[in-house]
């Protein structure tokens, strides 16, 4: 009977492709929009994830995210180093500055000052150059997306001179980093050098990056640091989440994407629901005949389920394929750098497809189940 | 479809296969695309506490290497051109060893002048003495003549025979006596004058001699000597440069030296942390950028005064809102090669097991 | 002839709700249908003939009364058992055939076998044999819309007979056909559907084929007004 069900479904090509299109479109819309949404808000955490070594970030109690921060006195570093369980701790500076390019343009940049001695705080990989270039005077390393923004004409950034706070800065490396939410150009340099590039305030050290000794969890270390120093300590995961939460709370992004996802869902329900019920209505006589001949409601239910399942499988597969193609196609675009599809999202859209098909299937099935077999005689 | 009942149906066979293929592809794509958020170990060793400090109560601080005598910035008492420089950076000197000299020509000229004044005064003294002798001789001669006249007069007065002595003879004798008296008196005046001249000359000699002593002292001050035994750390002067003793303001010290055997480390401890510090315990220190080179430094003393944190800020503008306790540690002799005066170090010091320290355990 | 009794109805009454009104369509039908006979149920529209036949073949519950089909009180069965009973024992031929448009003739004819759980290919083979018996074996692989009305009718007949039911119910089999085709279909039905232990009920008002009946029941306003071999004269 299931074979008949599938034949019935695919026999009506218009409606079959309508259903597949509806599901595929919904899947694409939901998956793609959720993917962009997640990636966009995860930009709030990219500064944390770009720093590969930190277990715990320590900051002033009022600091909220990597970019919304308040500097601490320099002795905070020693306070953190004095906490038992801290294997090591290094200073880290993140601050905004304005850069004058060789063309004379003014561009806002984030300066990241990494520990002078160990260079802890740099991204994991450099596209060009080596981290040792920071030991040369006035060296900075630029992030790759920022390099594209700052040198739109395609000039080679390596060796380019910038003017930062009346100081000379020479780009000597390009880092492979995920851009932050604001897509600001990021310049990595030594902590001591960064102090010169950032317009002066009394305190400059914005973060202390600490690592836990063996046998102590990050959470435990963070609470220990908070207790002993009175500073705010967040584990890497917590701090990444802080950055994400900040964007969620302070932008309309969740609402906008939420609306689009809801639209995708509603469009899916509408297209699939209408088409499916049309399909069922067209076949109501056949279903009635089958019921009269002696097909139980349970079997009818199975038939409709198989029909929905086939539509779901094909539509979902094509929708996911389109999403993958979209993300893959835009992976070269700097605005989409580092975009990935979190594995939860296809599951979410899969669940949405289930809901759409379940809902519309159930509605359509109701008419079938309610059909009196006697109706075939009228 | 009638001819190929089940062999190839786009919607029933090809599409599901495409869909399943798409799902497999998507799984691969998603698995490959997941961001790399692995944590990694730093390439260079950051400073970390080792041994029992690793998980024990401790206080961290940053410090700076200095000589055990602290830095001595050698100055000069005299302004002038540098004429001679006797030491080089890195040289070990003994106490009192000359370091450099400033120009002495002016002082030497003054010395010669003084010498001439002494000679001249001495000549005046001789002259005065001669005229004194002369006056004394005149006094003696006048006295003799006076006595002779007095005796003759007395003789004449003793002759009763007025005829025996003519009246004129008596008058002549009286005149002679008076003249001798006058001469004596004149000579006596001259003697007094000569005496005064001698005194004057003596005074001049003394004055010139004391001036000569001053000049000699100045001459020795022009040579600057090492105040203690130690190592020359920096020399900022070169022969021919003019040195002023009027406080060069922000200019670098002429010569910096200090006793570098042993080296000391001055560690800044945040005043809030100071209470937890275990005084007297050795500290674990490592130079900046060479964290694996850890050395145990023995406690020397804690500075009695808490001071605003001034050093190690890496920036021109000082931060004065943080106050630090400075603690001095001595580096062992064998670590001398790894540390240089002025180098920054990271230090870990055991803490007394205060209420805060063990709270996390 | 002393045939076996196929269907017995006792006091079958059926009411329909129409708004606040209750319309009684059948007023206590008591009758028997015998196996081996071709029984016609004849009546005006609204006379209740469709209702009666629906109740007889177990797809419409009577308001009152009981129906026994080959010894089984079918409205005493639960839902699923009733459905299975229909699947095993009753063949249906609908007025509009109600063939599934997207499967070929053989598969359409095989539907009852497939529903019984038979393997699809085996069922198709059996159905193909039935179609050959009905002289449309060469059309077995065609889709219903590629067939003429008569051919579709034959496929529907094949579907009704393929699982060899003991009761065949046939709704207006000739309504959409011209006189010749209608006659041929009725001949065919007589030939293949009527058997020793099989009852065949045909609802029709096609007077061109009344002469082929073994028995004619005339229904008027919910009551059987005539029961005999021939049609009453006033029709």
pLDDT digits (tens, 9 = 90+) for C67-93: 999 888 888 888 889 999 999 999 998
Q: Does A369 touch chain C (CB under 8 A)?
A: no
Q: Does A53 touch chain B (CB under 8 A)?
A: yes
Question: Which of B326, B355, B42, B352 minimizes the C-alpha distance to A88?
Answer: B42
Residues A198 and A70 in one domain: yes
pLDDT at C125 over 80: yes
Name the interface residues of B facing C (CB cutoff 8 Å): 1-3, 5
Query: What pLDDT was estimated at residue B276?
Result: 82
pLDDT at A313 over 90: yes
Q: How many CB atoms lie within 10 A of CB B158?
A: 8
Query: What pLDDT was estimated at residue B358?
Result: 39
Out of A198, A230, A262, a domain closes at A230
Looking at the domain assignment, is residue A48 inside a domain?
A: no
- C212-218: average pLDDT: 88
pLDDT in tens, A159-191: 888 888 888 889 999 998 888 888 888 999 998
The answer to whether the CB atoms of A118 and B30 lie below 8 A apart is no
Cis peptide before A260 (omega within 30 of 0): no
What is the residue whose two structure tokens read 């071999």? C229
Query: What pLDDT was estimated at residue B313?
Result: 47
| Residue B306 neighbours by CB under 8 Å, 6+ apart | B271, B274, B323, B324, B325
Residues A153 and A195 in one domain: yes
pLDDT at A46 over 80: yes
The answer to whether the CB atoms of C111 and A293 lie below 8 A apart is yes
Question: Which of B59, C155, C26, B197 minimizes the C-alpha distance to A228?
Answer: B59
Looking at the domain assignment, is residue A55 inside a domain?
A: no
Nearest chain B Cα distance for residue A200, angstroms: 8
- A327-337: average pLDDT: 85
At residue C160, φ and ψ (nearest 5 deg) are -70, -25
Range of the domain at A351: 2-43+252-377
Q: Is ipTM beyond 0.90?
A: no
* DSSP per-residue letters across chain C: --PPEEEEEEEEEEEEEETTEEEEEEEEEEEEEETT-EEEEEE-TTSSHHHHHHHHTTSS--SEEEEEETTEEGGGS-HHHHHHHHHHHEEEE-TT----TTS-HHHHHTHHHHHHT--HHHHHHHHHHHHHHTT-GGGTTS-GGGS-HHHHHHHHHHHHHTT--SEEEEESTTTTS-HHHHHHHHHHHHHHT-BTTBEEEEE---GGGGGG-SEEEEEETTEEEEEESS--TT-
Q: Domain count of chain A? A: 2
Query: What pLDDT was estimated at residue A378?
Result: 66
B61's tokens: 């601080």
Residue in A54, A75, A213 closest to B270 by CB: A75
Looking at the domain assignment, is residue A9 inside a domain?
A: yes
- The length of chain B in residues reads 361
Mutate to test the interface with A, among C75, C108, C111, C127 (most CBs of A within 10 A): C111
| A45-65 as b/e: b if 16+ CB within 10 A | bbbbbbbbbbbbbbbbeebbb
Rounded Cα gap, residues C88 and C164, in angstroms: 8
Query: What pLDDT was estimated at residue B353?
Result: 65
| Residue B152 neighbours by CB under 8 Å, 6+ apart | B173, B176, B177
Sequence-ordered alpha helix ranges (H) in A283-343: 284-293, 297-329
* DSSP per-residue letters across A68-126: S---B-TTHHHHHHTSTTEEEEEEEEEEEEEEE-TTS-EEEEEEEEE-TTT-TTS-SEE
| Chain A residues within an 8 Å CB radius of C80 | 296
Question: Which of C5, C6, C9 minimizes the C-alpha distance to C219?
Answer: C9
The answer to whether the CB atoms of A289 and C94 lie below 8 A apart is yes
Nearest chain B Cα distance for residue C43, angstroms: 41
Return the SS3 of B65. strand
Rounded Cα gap, residues C99 and A212, in angstroms: 74
Looking at the domain assignment, is residue A263 inside a domain?
A: yes
Q: Does C107 touch chain A (CB under 8 A)?
A: yes
Residues A155 and A201 in one domain: yes
A138's tokens: 């006035």
What is the residue whose two structure tokens read 């960064």? A194
The answer to whether the CB atoms of A8 and C103 lie below 8 A apart is yes
B64's tokens: 């700076």
The answer to whether the CB atoms of B22 and A196 lie below 8 A apart is no
Query: How high is the mean pLDDT in each 10-residue block of chain B (361 residues)?
Result: 56 87 90 80 75 75 88 84 88 90 85 89 89 89 87 81 77 85 88 90 90 87 89 88 68 84 88 83 85 86 81 49 84 85 87 52 34
pLDDT in tens, C126-156: 999 999 988 888 988 999 999 988 889 889 9
Q: Does C206 touch chain B (CB under 8 A)?
A: no
Out of A230, A265, A300, a domain closes at A230
DSSP E strand boundaries for chain A: 56-59, 86-100, 106-114, 125-128, 139-143, 161-164, 167-176, 185-190, 207-212, 232-235
| Chain A residues within an 8 Å CB radius of C86 | 292-294
Q: Does C104 touch chain A (CB under 8 A)?
A: no
**C12, C64 Cβ separation under 8 angstroms:** yes
| Chain B residues within an 8 Å CB radius of C143 | 1-2
Rounded Cα gap, residues A239 and A245, in angstroms: 10
pLDDT in tens, C95-121: 888 899 889 999 999 999 999 989 999
Question: Which of A304, A55, A284, A39 minimizes the C-alpha distance to A183?
Answer: A39
**Dihedral Cα A285, A288, A289, A290, nearest 10 deg:** 120
| Chain C residues within an 8 Å CB radius of B4 | none
Nearest chain A Cα distance for residue C8, angstroms: 19
Residues A202 and A256 in one domain: no
Q: Does A130 touch chain B (CB under 8 A)?
A: no
Mean pLDDT, chain A, rounded, equals: 88
Looking at the domain assignment, is residue A284 inside a domain?
A: yes
Q: Does A289 touch chain C (CB under 8 A)?
A: yes
Nearest chain C Cα distance for residue A25, angstroms: 26
Query: What pLDDT was estimated at residue A62?
Result: 92
Question: Which of C217, C208, C218, C160 minimizes the C-alpha distance to C184?
Answer: C208
Q: How many CB pairs under 8 A join A and C?
A: 89
**A96, A265 Cβ separation under 8 angstroms:** no
Restricting to C residues 158-197, those with a Cβ less than 8 Å away from any Cβ of B are: none
The answer to whether the CB atoms of A340 and B34 lie below 8 A apart is yes
- The length of chain A in residues reads 378
User: Which DSSP symbol is given to B73?
Assistant: E
Q: Does C37 touch chain B (CB under 8 A)?
A: no
Looking at the domain assignment, is residue A259 inside a domain?
A: yes
Q: Which neighbouring-strand residues pair with A59?
A: A207, A232
Residues A214 and A358 in one domain: no
Q: Would the CA dihedral through B50, B52, B56, B59 be positive or negative?
A: negative
The answer to whether the CB atoms of B360 and A220 lie below 8 A apart is yes
The answer to whether the CB atoms of B319 and A202 lie below 8 A apart is yes
Chains touching A, CB cut-off 8 Å, 3+ pairs = B, C
Query: What pLDDT was estimated at residue B4?
Result: 47
Residues A147 and A206 in one domain: yes
Mutate to test the interface with A, among B1, B13, B15 (most CBs of A within 10 A): B15
Rounded Cα gap, residues B11 and B14, in angstroms: 6
- C53-80: average pLDDT: 88
pLDDT at C1 over 60: no
Nearest chain C Cα distance for residue A311, angstroms: 17
Task: For residue A205, give the H/E element and its range.
Answer: none
**A124, A153 Cβ separation under 8 angstroms:** no
State how far the alpha carbon of B105 is from the alpha carbons of B84, B102, B171, B215, C152, in Å. 13, 9, 73, 11, 139
State how far the alpha carbon of A193 is from the alpha carbons of A99, A122, A310, C33, in Å. 15, 14, 62, 106
Among chain B residues, CA nearest to C105: B2
What is the residue whose two structure tokens read 């106050």? B323
State how far the alpha carbon of B351 is from the alpha carbons of B57, B268, B281, B296, B305, in Å. 5, 15, 9, 15, 20
Nearest chain C Cα distance for residue A360, angstroms: 22
Rounded Cα gap, residues B267 and A251, in angstroms: 47
Q: Sort B28 into a burial class: Cβ within 10 Å, 0-12 / 13-18 / 19+.
A: exposed
Among chain C residues, CA nearest to B3: C141
Query: What pLDDT was estimated at residue B361?
Result: 34
Looking at the domain assignment, is residue A56 inside a domain?
A: no
Residues A26 and A68 in one domain: no
Residues A11 and A126 in one domain: no
Nearest chain A Cα distance for residue B311, angstroms: 11
The answer to whether the CB atoms of B291 and A118 lie below 8 A apart is yes
The answer to whether the CB atoms of B5 and C146 lie below 8 A apart is no
Residues A39 and A65 in one domain: no
Residues A27 and A89 in one domain: no
pLDDT in tens, A220-244: 999 999 998 889 999 999 999 999 9
Residues A214 and A74 in one domain: yes
Nearest chain B Cα distance for residue A97, angstroms: 17
For residue A312, what pLDDT band results from cuts at 50, 70 and 90?
Answer: very high
Rama region for A294: left / alpha / beta (φ>0; ψ in -120 to 50; rest): left
Residues A226 and A258 in one domain: no
Looking at the domain assignment, is residue A51 inside a domain?
A: no
């Amino acid at each position: 009977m299931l074979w008949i069900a599938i034949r019935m479904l695919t026999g009506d090509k218009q409606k079959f492709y309508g259903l597949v299109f509806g599901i595929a479109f919904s899947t694409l819309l939901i998956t793609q929009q959720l993917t962009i949404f997640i990636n966009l808000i995860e930009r709030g955490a990219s500064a944390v994830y770009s720093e590969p070594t930190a277990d715990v970030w320590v900051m002033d109690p009022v600091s909220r995210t990597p970019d919304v921060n308040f500097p601490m006195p320099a002795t905070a570093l020693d306070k953190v180093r004095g906490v038992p369980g801290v294997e090591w701790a290094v200073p880290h500076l993140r601050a905004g500055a304005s850069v004058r390019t060789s063309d004379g343009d003014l561009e806002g940049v984030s300066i990241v000052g990494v520990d002078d001695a160990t260079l802890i705080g740099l991204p994991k990989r450099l596209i060009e150059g080596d981290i040792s270039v920071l030991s040369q005077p006035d060296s900075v390393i630029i992030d790759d997306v920022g390099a594209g923004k700052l040198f739109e004409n395609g000039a080679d950034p390596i060796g380019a001179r910038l003017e930062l706070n009346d100081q000379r800065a020479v780009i000597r490396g390009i880092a492979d980093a995920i851009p932050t939410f604001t897509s600001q150009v990021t310049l990595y340099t030594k902590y001591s050098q960064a102090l010169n590039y950032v317009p002066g305030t009394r305190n400059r050290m914005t973060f202390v990056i600490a690592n836990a000794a063996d046998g102590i969890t990050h959470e435990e270390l963070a609470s220990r640091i908070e207790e002993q120093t009175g500073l705010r300590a967040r584990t890497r995961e917590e701090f990444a989440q802080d950055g994400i939460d900040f964007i969620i709370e302070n932008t309309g992004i969740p609402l906008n994407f939420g609306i689009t996802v809801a639209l995708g869902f509603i469009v899916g329900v509408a297209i699939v629901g209408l088409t499916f019920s049309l399909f069922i209505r067209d076949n109501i006589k056949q279903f009635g005949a089958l019921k009269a001949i002696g097909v139980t409601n349970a079997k009818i239910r199975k038939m409709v389920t198989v029909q929905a399942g086939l539509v779901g499988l094909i539509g979902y597969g094509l929708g996911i394929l389109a999403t993958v193609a979209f993300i893959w196609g835009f992976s070269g675009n700097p605005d989409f750098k580092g975009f990935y599809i979190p594995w939860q999202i296809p599951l979410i859209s899969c669940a949405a497809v289930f809901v759409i098909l379940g809902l519309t299937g159930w509605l359509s099935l109701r008419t079938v189940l309610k059909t009196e077999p006697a109706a075939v005689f009228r | 479809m009638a001819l190929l009942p089940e062999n190839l149906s786009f919607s029933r066979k090809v599409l599901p296969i495409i869909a399943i293929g798409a799902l497999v592809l998507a799984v691969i794509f998603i698995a490959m695309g997941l961001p790399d958020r692995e944590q990694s170990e730093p390439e260079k060793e950051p400073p970390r506490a080792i041994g029992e400090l690793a998980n024990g109560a401790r206080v961290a601080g940053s410090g700076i290497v200095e000589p055990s005598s602290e830095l001595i910035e050698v100055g000069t008492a005299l302004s002038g051109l540098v004429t001679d420089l006797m030491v080089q950076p890195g040289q070990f000197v003994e106490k009192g060893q000359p370091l450099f000299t400033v120009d002495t020509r002016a002082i030497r000229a003054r010395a010669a002048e003084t010498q001439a004044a002494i000679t001249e005064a001495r000549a005046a003294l001789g002259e005065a003495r001669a005229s004194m002798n002369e006056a004394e001789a005149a006094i003696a001669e006048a006295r003799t003549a006076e006595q002779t006249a007095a005796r003759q007069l007395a003789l004449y007065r003793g002759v009763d025979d007025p005829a025996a002595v003519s009246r004129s003879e008596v008058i002549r004798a009286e005149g002679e006596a008076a003249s001798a008296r006058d001469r004596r008196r004149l000579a006596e005046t001259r003697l007094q004058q000569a005496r005064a001249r001698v005194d004057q000359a003596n005074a001049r000699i003394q004055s010139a001699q004391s001036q000569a002593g001053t000049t000699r002292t100045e001459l020795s001050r022009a040579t600057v000597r090492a105040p203690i035994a130690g190592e020359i750390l920096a020399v900022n002067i070169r022969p021919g440069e003019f040195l002023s003793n009027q406080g060069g303001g922000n200019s670098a010290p002429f010569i910096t030296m200090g006793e570098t055997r042993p080296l000391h480390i001055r560690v800044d401890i945040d005043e809030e942390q100071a209470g937890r510090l275990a005084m007297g315990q050795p500290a674990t220190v490592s130079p900046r950028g060479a964290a694996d080179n850890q050395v145990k430094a023995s406690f020397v003393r804690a500075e009695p005064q808490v001071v605003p944190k001034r050093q190690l800020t890496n920036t021109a503008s000082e931060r004065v809102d943080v106050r630090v306790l400075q603690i001095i540690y001595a580096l062992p002799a064998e670590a001398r090669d790894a540390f240089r005066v002025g180098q920054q170090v990271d230090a870990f010091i055991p803490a007394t097991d205060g209420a805060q320290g063990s709270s996390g355990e | 002839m002393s045939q076996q009794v196929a269907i017995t109805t006792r006091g079958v009454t059926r009411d329909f709700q129409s708004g606040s009104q209750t319309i009684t369509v059948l007023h206590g039908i008591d009758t028997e249908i015998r196996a081996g006979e071709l029984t016609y149920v004849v009546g005006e529209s609204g006379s209740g003939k469709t209702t009666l036949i629906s109740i007889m073949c177990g797809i419409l519950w009577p308001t009152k009364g009981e129906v026994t089909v080959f010894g089984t009180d079918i409205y005493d069965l639960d839902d699923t058992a009733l459905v299975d009973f229909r699947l095993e024992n009753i063949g249906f031929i609908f007025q509009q055939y109600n063939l599934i448009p997207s499967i070929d003739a053989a598969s359409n004819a095989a539907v009852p076998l497939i529903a019984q759980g038979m393997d699809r290919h085996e069922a198709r083979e059996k159905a193909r044999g039935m179609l050959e018996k009905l002289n449309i074996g060469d059309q077995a692989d065609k889709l219903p819309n590629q067939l003429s009305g008569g051919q579709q009718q034959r496929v529907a007949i094949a579907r009704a007979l393929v699982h060899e039911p003991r009761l065949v119910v046939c709704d207006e089999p000739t309504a959409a056909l011209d006189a010749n085709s209608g006659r041929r279909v009725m001949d065919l039905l007589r030939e293949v559907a009527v058997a020793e232990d099989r009852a065949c009920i045909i609802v029709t008002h096609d007077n061109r084929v009344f002469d082929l009946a073994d028995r004619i029941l005339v229904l008027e306003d919910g009551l059987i007004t005539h029961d005999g071999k021939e049609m009453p004269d006033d029709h």
